[in-house]
């Protein structure tokens, strides 16, 4: 039987490195969090895409 993990519910935006992956947890409207696992090159692509729309 698979291990059951408790649902973490709402929380802050969180980004951590786990091994060679980057885990990003994004809070969602209505509760819960979106969990995305990406590698370094995907993180760079995401950064570049965000820089294109963020006005400093």
In terms of pTM, does the model score above 0.85?
Answer: no
pLDDT tens digit sequence for 2-47? 555 555 567 889 999 999 999 999 998 888 889 999 999 999 999 9
Query: Do the beta carbons of residue 24 and residue 38 sit within 8 Å?
Result: yes
Note the pLDDT of residue 2: 57
| Three-state helix/strand/coil letters over the chain | CCCCCCCCCCCCCEEEEECCEEEEEEECCCCCEEEEEECHHHHHHHHHHHHCCCCC
């Amino acid at each position: 039987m698979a291990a059951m993990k408790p649902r973490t519910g709402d929380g802050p935006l969180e980004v951590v490195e786990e091994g060679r992956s980057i885990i990003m947890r994004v809070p969602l409207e209505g509760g819960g969090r979106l969990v995305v696992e990406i590698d370094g090159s995907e993180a760079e692509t995401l950064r570049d895409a965000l820089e294109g729309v963020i006005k400093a």
